[in-house]
Amino acid sequence: MDFIELAKHRYSSRKYRAKAVETEKLKIVLEAGRIAPSANNQQPWIFVVIKEENLENLQACYPRDWFRSAPMAIVLCADHSKSWKRKDGKDHADIDVAIAADHMTLAATSINLATCWICNFDKEKLIKTINLPRQYEPVVILSLGYPEDEPNLERHDTKRKELVEIVYYETLKPL
Ligand SMILES: Cc1cc2nc3c(=O)[nH]c(=O)nc-3n(C[C@H](O)[C@H](O)[C@H](O)COP(=O)(O)O)c2cc1C
């Protein structure tokens, strides 16, 4: 599969089979996050894997029926004490964590697993659920598992903007 094909196969799966994710496959997904690039190589992240006794508590942080079908999830947290800040103060932690998450979703896709980004969670509840020290911020929960649903591989034709709407060359002003 070339890159565009892989990226099109990645989709937000909201229905999972009960089958557990093998440890070897989980390691591949985590490794994809580990090797992601980050601003000044600060790697300002931790990845919290939840698949056993804390799974129900995690599901309560994002109470949707579909999320209960996920056999596991990874919570990606930003470490604001480590992230690179530009001279004007911009903190790059969220960008770095998003790149790690994207690496993970694509790695999962490449081994026939599916994911869904979840950011609409109850933040304070999640902090308590995973016992997260205050220097960290939970940025995204990634559900992970074998999908019961399938991607619509044509959706990018209608559900994404056209390049002409979003790409500019050299400047936004007419040259
Ligand atoms: C930063 C981010 C946050 C998201 N948060 C949620 C969420 O809380 N719940 C959810 O069901 N989907 C969430 N999604 C999934 C998006 O709705 C989905 O990626 C988008 O509609 C495109 O569909 P696709 O992923 O199937 O290509 C999120 C995606 C991103 C990138």
Ligand 1 centroid–CA 117 distance in Å is: 5
Residue 111 has pLDDT above 80, yes or no: yes
Tell me, what's the pLDDT at 24? 98
Whether this model's pTM surpasses 0.95: yes
Name the closest-CA residue to atom 21, ligand 1: 12
Among 76, 118, 141, 149, which residue has the most ligand 1 atoms within 8 Å of its CB, making it the best to mutate?
Answer: 118
pLDDT at 52: 97
* pLDDT value, residue 87: 98
Asked if pLDDT for residue 34 goes beyond 90, the answer is yes
Residue 173 pLDDT: 82
Q: Is the Cβ atom of 171 under 6 angstroms away from ligand 1?
A: no
CA-66 nearest atom, ligand 1: 11
Average pLDDT over residues 139-164: 97
**Ligand 1 and 158: CB distance under 6 A:** no
Q: Are 38 and 98 in contact (CB under 8 A)?
A: no
Tokens 């890159």 belong to which residue?
A: 3
Place of tokens 């999320």: 67
Cross-strand pairs, 16: 147
Q: Which domains does the chain have, with CATH numbers?
A: 3-166 (3.40.109.10)
Q: What is the mean pLDDT of the chain?
A: 97
Helix axes 23-34, 93-110, angle to 10 degrees: 140
Average pLDDT over residues 134-145: 97
Q: pLDDT at position 175, please?
A: 66
Is 92 a residue whose pLDDT tops 80? Answer: yes
Residue 116 beta carbon below 6 angstroms from any ligand 1 atom: yes
Residue nearest to atom 17 of ligand 1 (CA): 12
CA–centroid distance, residue 150 to ligand 1 (Å): 15
Contact status, residue 144 vs residue 76, Cβ threshold 8 Å: no
Nearest Cα residue to 121 out of 140, 93, 94: 140
